[in-house]
């Protein structure tokens, strides 16, 4: 799981940065080239297909290469991993660690510190606590005999399976876990959309 996070976040963040125009497509290709090696077919990248399609192809092949590399390291060190003597990230032993370090450096410099990205992160400091406060209160009221109209309406924003789970929860801890799992699983866009709806903020 740790290796999966390391792989996906580094590659997908770079892809998102390219979509946002924070990193050029050519720079993205050059950053991924040391991982792709002979699997990088530049002629195909210049062919038909928009940016999303080309980035999707690069992403799929790159992640596949990194999975294979990390899987090999895992198998080589399985005994040490299981007995706890191997206590390092698989990616740190990966043959592509230098390329991944370069991707991380570029991401920090050009993506994570970009104004539009920082603005989204700053909004998250209001959005996530706001959603948790409203939805946790909703979960508490669902356990009462006569929940208010407001929280009855908010409960309708939950997926049906979550409403059923919350109605069957007898422990506050379980209720909190369900709601935290729900909020943490929201995409940035969905979280912001829900927050605006709840707070009555215009969507334009």
Read off the CATH number of the domain in which 17 is found: 1.10.3410.10
Q: Is the pTM of this model over 0.75?
A: no
Assign 3-class secondary structure to 81-146.
HHHCCCCCCHHHHCCCHHHHHHHHHHHHHHHHCCHHHHHHHHHHHHHHHHHHHHHHHHHHHHCCCC
Calculate mean pLDDT across residues 45-68.
86
Residue that is last in its domain, among 86, 113, 140:
113
Same domain, 84 and 144: no
**Per-residue pLDDT, 100:** 94
User: What pLDDT score was predicted for residue 149?
Assistant: 82
- Is 204 part of any domain? no
Would 36 be classed as within a structural domain? yes
Total number of domains in the chain = 2
Share of the chain above pLDDT 70, in %: 95
* 120 shares its domain with 105: no
Interval 37-54 mean pLDDT: 79
More confident residue, 81 or 112: 81
C-beta neighbour count of 86 within 10 angstroms: 16
pLDDT at 147 (0 to 100): 63
| Residue-averaged pLDDT of the chain | 87
Residues 6+ apart with CB under 8 A from 194: 131, 157, 186
Q: What is the mean pLDDT of residues 140-161?
A: 80
Mean pLDDT of 149-169: 85
Please give the pLDDT value at position 145.
61
Q: What is residue 20's DSSP assignment?
A: T
**Is pLDDT at 140 greater than 90 in this prediction?**
no
């Amino acid at each position: 799981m740790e290796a999966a996070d390391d792989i996906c976040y580094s590659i997908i963040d770079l892809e998102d940065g390219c979509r946002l125009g924070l990193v050029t497509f050519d720079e993205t290709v050059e950053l991924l080239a040391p991982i792709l090696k002979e699997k990088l077919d530049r002629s195909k990248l210049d062919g038909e297909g928009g940016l999303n399609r080309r980035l999707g192809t690069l992403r799929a092949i790159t992640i596949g290469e990194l999975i294979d590399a990390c899987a090999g390291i895992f198998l080589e060190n399985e005994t040490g991993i299981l007995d706890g003597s191997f206590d390092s990230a698989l990616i740190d032993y990966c043959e592509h660690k230098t390329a991944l370090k370069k991707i991380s450096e570029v991401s920090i410099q050009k993506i994570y510190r970009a104004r539009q990205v920082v603005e989204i992160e700053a909004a998250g400091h209001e959005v996530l606590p706001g959603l948790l406060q409203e939805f946790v209160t909703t979960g508490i009221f669902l356990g009462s005999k006569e929940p208010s109209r407001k929280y009855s309406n908010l409960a309708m924003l939950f997926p049906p399976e979550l409403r059923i789970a919350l109605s069957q929860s007898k422990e506050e801890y379980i209720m909190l876990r369900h709601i935290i799992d729900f909020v943490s699983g929201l995409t940035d866009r969905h979280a912001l959309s829900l927050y605006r709806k709840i707070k009555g903020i215009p969507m334009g």
